[in-house]
Amino acid sequence: MFHLIGIHDLESLAQIIGGKLSCQNAIFSSLIVDSRKVVKNSVFLALKGDTFDGNNYCQDAIDKGALAVITDIETTITNAIIVEDSYLSLLKLAQYQQQKVKPKTIAITGSNGKTTVKEMIGQILSEEEAVITHKNENNEYGIPFTVLRLTEKTNYLVLECGARKLGDFNLISEFLIFDIVAVTNINNSHIEIFENIENIIKTKTKLFDALKHDGLIIDGANFNKISCPLDGFEENNSTITIYGNSNKEVWKSSSVPVKYPGRYKLNISHEKDDDFTINGINLGAKHNEKNALISFIIAKKVGIKIDLIQEKLSNIQSQLSDRFSINRVGNHVLINDTYNANPVSMHAAINELKSNKYYPNNKVIILGDMLELGNESSTEHLKLLREISTMEGIQSIILKGDSFKKALESLDMDEENDFILHLDENEIFPIKKVISSLKKPSVILIKGSRGMRMEQIVDLFSSNLI
């Protein structure tokens, strides 16, 4: 449910979206995009996508008490605003809302780290002053939905921008405007859909077209030298370049683990400014260092005081239960990194266990296939398996899915030996057998693409591990 600032009647609404009102003017209460959530006197906007068509539910919305519907097809419904394109109407309303409020607007995109940066920024900014992308509403629909949640009290708008295909940001960049566009990184995530790295870059950087004339680009991808897992995994490069008004700033960070797994001391430096330190920040994994640096820079650039940024980041609590979330279960450390997986995030997670001395020496690695890699799938699964097989302290490697099965066969590794087990995608996970083998305190990493449903394995450990 969205409330439009200063728009209360159908005639004004039709004027904003360039539609034709087919009934007499009347006062409405709110805008609805889900017919199941219609309230009395609301207006139902009928959107359509690849798997849904809201036009099929216009009459249902009226029956439930909607005052009118916005539709882009011919209709027999009396109370309607007829438009050329319902999605364009959504964008026009988002544009209107943003122009009425004029918040500092930050767009965050990239192949990895978007949600982490968004959540870090969200915990720095005041809830009363900021509107932030909710959960995974980061696509071409979720972005304008977030903008429509603006109120007259909003000072900051933080948009996570995820693209699933070439051109997803074309219209977004035409209707919205940004003070800052931050790119976390660029890699071959979803390359099966985008076909090549060039298309991924073209899609992400389309957001630059929406920058204000004095806007800033926070470049975590190092566009002069795109780090791509096709050439092998590189250690975390925590250098950020900021571009704006023909000026260029370079920011750097370094971090060292402290005591508890996932905690780091973060040092931030800038060539023209003081150095900053954040003690005991809960990064989860070292590869989040760059995300923390980007979050620090964004907060500073929108005017948040340094001492408040340091305080908030020092006490940051992850709201992301499935993105390298570290939990103590009995004598063991259980890491839930099941939200998604691609080569960069897989290697980064493995590198965390290899390099951080505060994790238990005994390691259990449970991985599901990396999906949507297209022709690179075989190469990337092989590369990852080679790295894992040489790790010290490995008690067991459990792999799930066809891609890892092919990698095992290519390496001529015996999946029936004492420490390697392969499971078909729908095979029951042998939780009792695995737990009974844990004779020492262990770190258990569970990770895989979303389609592999690795969170089910996390639930098994959480329920059975004591």
* Per-residue pLDDT tens over the stretch 182-237: 999 888 777 778 888 888 889 999 999 999 999 999 999 887 655 544 444 444 57
Residue 8 three-state SS: coil
Domain end (from 84, 111, 128): 84
280 with 363, same domain? no
| Phi, psi at 349, each rounded to 5° | -65, -45
C-alpha–C-alpha distance, residues 52 and 442, integer Å: 46
Tell which of 292, 314, 336 closes a domain.
314
Sheet harboring 31-32: ordered strands across?
20-21, 80-82, 68-71, 43-45, 31-32
Cα–Cα distance, 341 to 458 (Å, whole number): 15
Q: How far apart are CA 263 and CA 286, in angstroms?
A: 9
Domain that holds residue 344: 325-464
Residue type for 233, please? F
- Residue 280, in any domain of the structure: yes
Q: In this prediction, what percent of the chain has a pLDDT beyond 90?
A: 73
CA-nearest of 363, 369, 374, 381 to 341 is: 369
* Domain-embedded: residue 131: yes
Q: What residues contact residue 341 under an 8 Å CB cut-off, 6+ apart?
A: 367, 368, 370, 371, 447, 448, 449, 452
| Whole-number Å distance between alpha carbons of 402 and 104 | 46
pLDDT digits over 252-276, tens only?
Answer: 999 999 988 889 999 999 887 789 9
Cα distance between residue 56 and residue 52, in whole Å: 9
- Do 58 and 16 belong together in one domain? yes
Question: Is 66 within a domain?
Answer: yes
Tell me, yes or no, whether 1 lies in a domain.
no
Using the 3D structure, point to which of 84, 114, 140 is the last residue of a domain: 84
In this structure, the answer to whether residues 185 and 73 fall within a common structural domain is no
Say how far apart CA 29 and CA 335 lie, in whole Å: 45
447: which DSSP letter?
E
- Work out the average pLDDT over 378-394: 91
Examine the domain organization and report whether 230 and 186 are in the same domain: yes
* CA dihedral of residues 215, 221, 222, 228 (deg, nearest 10): -160
Measured CA to CA, the distance from residue 38 to residue 194 in angstroms comes to 37
CATH at 371: 3.90.190.20
56-115, pLDDT tens digit by residue? 999 999 999 999 999 999 888 999 999 999 999 999 999 999 999 999 999 999 988 899
Exposure b/e, 172-196, CB count within 10 A at least 16 = b: bbebbbbbbbbbbbbbbbbbeebee
Pair 239, 345 in one domain: no
Kindly state whether residues 165 and 298 are assigned to the same domain: yes
Question: Would you say residue 89 lies in a domain?
Answer: no
Do residues 158 and 294 share a domain? yes
Helices (H) and strands (E) in the chain, counts: 15, 20
Rounded to whole angstroms, the Cα distance separating 427 from 82 reads: 51
Please tell me whether residues 294 and 267 are part of one structural domain.
Answer: yes
Indicate if 425 and 294 belong to the same structural domain: no
9 bridge partner residues: 27
Close Cβ partners of 416 (under 8 Å, ≥ 6 residues apart): none
Cα 147 to Cα 131: distance, rounded to the nearest angstrom: 8
Among 85-99, 173-187, 382-396, 400-414, the least confident range: 400-414
- At 134-146, the pLDDT tens digits run 988 999 999 999 9
Residue 233 confidence (pLDDT): 42
Spell out the alpha helix ranges (H) of 69-157: 86-101, 114-124, 142-148
d(CA 280, CA 287): 15
Residues 391 and 298 placed together within one structural domain of the fold? no
Same-domain status, 157 and 303: yes
The verdict on residue 4 lying in a domain is no
In sequence order, what are the residues at sequence separation of 6 or more whose Cβ sits closer than 8 angstroms to the Cβ of residue 11? 21, 25
Q: Quick: pLDDT tens for 15-61.
A: 999 999 999 999 999 999 999 999 999 999 999 988 889 999 999 99
In a domain, 34, yes or no: yes
pLDDT tens by residue, 316-329 = 876 667 889 999 98
From first CA to last CA, the distance across the chain in angstroms is: 43
8-state DSSP, 280: E
Mean pLDDT score across all residues of the chain: 91
Over 90: is that where the pLDDT of 415 sits?
no
State whether 76 and 144 are in the same domain.
no
Q: What is the CATH number of the domain that holds 237?
A: 3.40.1190.10
CATH of the domain at 21: 3.40.1390.10
91 part of a folded domain? no
In this structure, are strands 130-132 and 156-160 parallel, antiparallel, or unpaired? Answer: parallel
Please tell me the total count of domains within the chain: 3
